Amino acid sequence: MYIEDDIWKRFTVFQSAETTQHYLKKCYSGIINNEVDTKSYDNCFAFMYYLEQGEVFYRQASLSPLSIRPILLFYGLIHLIKACLLTVDPFYPSSTSVLAHGVTTRKRKKRHYKFLHDEIKVQKNGLCTFFSEQLFHVKHLEGEKFHMVDLLTLIVELEDVMLPILGRSNMISLERIDEKKWVIPKKIYESYYMDRIRLKEYLNGKYVEEILWDDEKLELPAFKKQKIISPPFRYHIFNQNLYLPAEKHSNMGLPDMIVHYLLLYNLSMISRYETEWWIDLIKTTPNSDYPFIKSFLEITEKKGPFLVEEYLSKKLL
């Protein structure tokens, strides 16, 4: 299994102020000209403290009951994201407008509410739109609405839950040939209604990195150094394979970190403000919401730090 039992061991390199300042200096060298030394020094402790506080939240979440786990995981991810932002924005936070969560949800849940059918809306200002653009160059999220079932479909590790409960797969695994090459299975061509030529054009247009093609085989050079992968491809942290969405849909370009942020935001709000529904779900497990939520929380506890560590270490290469 690629994931270590203790993912936080991989953050050890950032526990030194000297090393962290050198790391930030490297990050800033192409962003600012005259204040590289000053800003790397000013930000190195904030960067370290964001990572440290994020780790505290995640470790506490692993020891806490399910009822409060979404809150701890959400704030843990927020702190890790803020550390990432310091690598691309030496002046973060430059205003209070980027400190809010940047997402809204229904204030009161309707009768017979189901989490899978719930939706959230991205606001103009706040952390969500800011880190989406700064870290992943994802723009125009303002005003976008996302249904929970659509976001959960993008969690590749939920494949074992999707099929038995919803009756459909959310992802299709690529067939691995060797350490660096895969074959796209026939299911993808059939599901996307594309022949080989059209599918190559489609994936080349969606994937921001380079794809090397050899007849039916494909190679992703960026994957050789980093396991974090750009959409529409998804990396399964437990079986270490690559996947594509089982069907084309409008959200398939969302990076994993944004998907986890949006899901955790809504779950943390529910656990705080919809106590009756939330505790009833945990105690009685009345519908299919429970296995999805429980499974997602178990996954994001591992994958959230993994995504951040991969993002940060990419800048060390």
pLDDT score for 5: 60
Which residues are paired to 235 by β-bridges? 242
Residue-wise pLDDT for 113-157, tens only, equals 899 999 999 999 999 999 999 999 999 899 999 999 999 999 999
- From 135, 113, 101, 175, select the one nearest 256 (Cα to Cα): 135
d(CA 22, CA 316): 10
Domain ranges of the chain: 7-145+256-314, 171-245
Q: Which amino acid is at 162?
A: M
**Enclosing H/E stretch for 288:** none
Residues 6+ apart with CB under 8 A from 284: none
Sign of dihedral through CA atoms 42, 8, 157, 196? positive
Which residues of the chain have a pLDDT value below 50?
Answer: 1-2
Strands 181-183 and 217-219, by their bridges, are: antiparallel
Which residues are paired to 31 by β-bridges? none
Which residues are paired to 234 by β-bridges? 243
**Enclosing H/E stretch for 145:** strand 145-147
pLDDT score for 1: 42
pLDDT score for 258: 98
Residue-wise pLDDT for 38-71, tens only, equals 999 999 999 999 999 999 999 999 999 999 999 9
